[in-house]
Amino acid sequence: MSLQKPTTSQQSSVLIDVEGMKCSSCVHIVEQILLEQANIKQANVNLVTKTALIELQGPDQDLTQILHSLNERGFPAQEKQRALSNKEISSNKEWWRQWRQLIAALVLLLLSVLGHLAEGGQLNLPIIGELPFHASLATIALFGPGLKILKSGAKAAIALTPTMDTLVGLGVSSAYLASIVALIWPSVGWPCFFNEPVMLLGFVLLGRFLEERARFRTGKALKQLAQLQPDTAKLLLDNRKTREVRVGALIPGEKIQLFAGDRIPVDGVVIKGHSAVDISSLTGEPLPLEASPGTTVCSGSLNLEENLIIEVKRVGAETALARIIDLVEEAQARKAPIQGLADRVAGGFCYGVVSLAVATFLFWWQIGTKLWPEVIDASGQGLMHSHAHGLHAPLGSGAETPLGLALQLAIAVLVIACPCALGLATPTVITVASGEAAKRGWLFRGGDVIEMAASLSRIVFDKTGTLTIGRPLVLGTLGTTDRARMLQIAASLEQSSRHPLAHAVLQETKRLKLPLLTATSTKTFPGLGLAGEIENVDGIIRVGKPEWLQAEGLLLTEEVQQSFKEAALTGGSVIGVSQNKSLLGLIMIDDQIRPDADIALTRLRNLGMNLSILSGDRREAVLRIGAQLGFSSEQLGSQLLPEEKLAALKELGEHEKVAMVGDGINDAPALAASDLGIAVGTGTQIAQESADLVLLGDRLEGLAESMLLARRAMNKIRQNLFWAFGYNLIALPIAAGVMLPQFGLLLSPPIAALLMAVSSLTVVLNALSLRTG
C-alpha cells in the first residue's frame, strides 16, 4: 500500500474547521462567504463534521482573510489540524460543553413541568405556581442557556442571513416580550405565558444535545482509524537499549523496536526479524502480511507474533494512515449532487419561514378569528379572570383573544420549521458511508463519487494487476524428467537477471526451497535469453526462447514441439532450458488470475452490472483470461494503446455510466476520463491519484461490496430528503393553523420545538442505520 501525501506545490485544497453552524441555512451562508473571496474557486461545507473544503486558485494561498471573514459573520474558523491522536479529535472541552447543555435543558424542562403541575393544583408548591417565579425562570432561561441562541440569531438577522437560531430566537423572545407586556400592562388583555419560552428552550437544547451525540456517532469510523495511531514508540539507541519517545519526535532513518502485540506507529521498512502483521484495519485484507527484512509496513498495522526492528521512513501526517484519514475527511466535505436541491431550498428557507410566521400572525389576528370565531377558546373569560389575579395562561391550552391566538400560531411556525433536517439529510449519510468504507479499505474521494458509484451500469477492467495478480509466476513445466533439478539450474543462471520471467523462476525455486548454484559465467542475448556455465554442471547452459535454443542446435521431439505450441496458444510465456544440445525442460510462465476475481465478478453481475475488459496485453492472453472469468468475446478488447482505451471508454460512455478499474501508469488517462475511476490499492501511485475510488489491499471482491454500500447510501439520502421535505411541507401548514377550524388541531410552541428536534434526530439515526446493514 502506497498512499503519499501530495507536496505543497501540488495542493490547492484546504480543510478548515467552522464552528457555529446549526442548520442548512448556516451551511448556505458559510458557502456564500467563502465564495465571495477572490482566491477561492469552490467550497464544500459539511454540517455534520463542521468543516469546509475549499479549492484555492493556487498553492501557498494566505488563509488569514478567509478565516477573518468567517469569524466576522459569527462562524469561528481555523485551518484544520490534521492530528491523529484521538484525544485531539474528541476534545474534552466540547464534551463538557454538550453535557452542560443537556443539564441546562433538563433543569429547564423539570422546572417548567413543576410550574404547570403547581398551576393546575396537582402539586402544592405555592412559590413555583406564582407568576413572579415563572417570569424569573423565563428571564434566567433566556439570558442564561438561551443567550447564545439569541446572540447568534440576532447577528444573523442583522446580516440579513437568518438561521435556525434566528427562528428559535424570534419564537422565544416573542413569547417572552408578549408576557412582559401583559405583566406590566394587564389592560392589554394578553395572556402571560412565561412557561413556554422555558419549555421551548428546554426542548431545543435537549434536541441539539441528542443530535450532537448522534452526529458524533456518524464520525465514529474515522475516530476508530485515528485510534490505530499509537502516541509513543520504542526508539532503538546506539547501545541497543530502547527509550520510549513521542511518535512526533521520530525522524526518518531512526530505528524503533516493536514487540508482539504492538501497533506500528510509523511507515517504515523491516530491517530485522520475521513476524505476521495484521493490516486488516487499513486495507480490509483478512490474511496477515508476512514481514521480513525489506518488507514495507504501514502505521496502524498490528505486529502479531515476533519482535521486529523497523527503520522509520515517514512519520505523522506523511504516513499512509494519515493520508487515508485526510482522504476520508475530504470525501466527507465533498457534496453529493443530490444535495443541490436541499441547498437551493435552504438558501431562502428561513426567509420563507419568517414570512409565513408574519402572514400567519396577521391572518389570525385580523381575518381568521372573524371567519371562524369558534376557534377562540370558550373558556377565555375564565382565563382572563385568572390573569387578572396574577396567574399566567399556558400557551396552547387555548386563546382568549385573536391577538393571543395569532401570536401563539406565529411562534409555533417559527419553532417547528426545521432547516436542520434539510442540512443533515445528505452529509450524515456521506459521513457514515465514507467512514465505514474506509474501515474496510475502500476510499471514496467524495459524496459525488458515492452518488456516481450508485448510478453505474458498466464496469471496465484492465487485465494485468487488476483481474490478475500483476506479476508472472511459474504455472508448470513440460518435457522434463527432473523438474526440481531443471528449475534449480535455470534459476542459478538467471539469479543476476532483472527480467520479469527470470524473477518468476527465482520465486518458484525459493518456494520449493531449492538452493542456488554458482554461475561462473553468463552472457545475455537481448530478447532471446541467457547462456553460461554453472559450477559442477557440465556443458553450456542456455535459458530462453525455445526458437532461440533450436537455432543454437537444440533438437526438439515432435511431442515436445506440439506441447510447446499448445502452451503458446494459451497466451502465456514458455522458456526452454538446455544443457549443451539436450533439452532439460520447458517452463510455462504467466500471470495468474486473482483468487477472488471470479467471486467479485459474479457479485457485480448479480448487481446488474455490465462488465468488459480493455487491455494492452496480447489477444491470446486476454481471450484466455476472459473465457475463464465468463466474458464473451464482444466484451473483450486487447492490444490497446492508452489512447485506444480512451476512445473505447468514450464510446461506451455515450450510452451508460462507466467505471474503469486499473492499476498501472498506462491506466491513469482512462481512470481520469471515465465517469468513475477505480484503482486497486496494490497499483501505482499515479493510478491511485487519478482514481475516484481506491481499493486498498488485494481484495477485488471489495469492489462489489463498495458498489452495494454506495447504493444503500443513496437510498438513505433519498429517504432523508423525502422526510426532511415532507416534514416541513406537512408541519408548517399545521403549525400555521390550517387544521384548526375544522379539526381543532393546535400545536403549542413547546410541542413544535419537540417535533423539530425529533425531525433532525430522525435523519441522523437513519444515516447511522447504514452501519448495521
- In the numeric block, which cell numbers belong to residue 259? 514487540
Instruction: Extract long-range pairs of 240-244: CB within 8 Å, 24+ residues apart.
Output: none
Find the farthest-apart pair of alpha carbons in the chain and give their distance in angstroms, rounded.
123
User: Which residue in this structure is represented by grid cell 488517462?
Assistant: 669
Task: Determine whether 462 is an active site residue.
Answer: yes
* Burial (CB count <10 Å: 0-12, 13-18, 19+), residue 10: exposed
- What is the Cα Rg of the chain in Å? 35
**CA 276 – CA 287 distance, rounded (Å):** 9
- In the numeric block, which cell numbers belong to residue 67? 478565516
User: CB–CB of 495/523 below 8 Å?
Assistant: no
Name the β-bridge partners of 154: none
Q: How far apart are the first and last CA of the chain?
A: 28
Distance, CA of 751 to chain centre: 35
**CA 96 – CA 113 distance, rounded (Å):** 26
Phi, psi for residue 357 in degrees, rounded to 5: -65, -45
**CA 352 – CA 157 distance, rounded (Å):** 14
**CA 459 – CA 462 distance, rounded (Å):** 10
> Which runs of E-coded beta strand occur in 545-625?
573-579, 582-593, 610-614
Q: CA nearest 153: which of 68, 29, 339? A: 29
Q: How many CA atoms lie within 13 A of 148 on its CB side?
A: 10
Q: CA nearest 267: which of 243, 278, 251, 280? A: 251
Buried b (16+ CB within 10 A) or exposed e, 463-495: bbbbbbbbebbbbebbbbeebeebbbbbbbbbb
Count of other CB atoms within 10 angstroms of residue 613 = 22
Exactly one of 165, 262, 377, 462 is catalytic; name it: 462
- In the numeric block, which cell numbers belong to residue 742? 375544522
Q: What DSSP string describes 703-724?
A: HHHHHHHHHHHHHHHHHHHHHH
**CA 750 – CA 592 distance, rounded (Å):** 67
Alpha helices in 48-130 (DSSP H): 64-72, 86-89, 92-120
**CA 311 – CA 271 distance, rounded (Å):** 7
Alpha helices in 426-540 (DSSP H): 427-439, 447-455, 483-494, 500-511
Q: What residues are labeled active site? A: 462
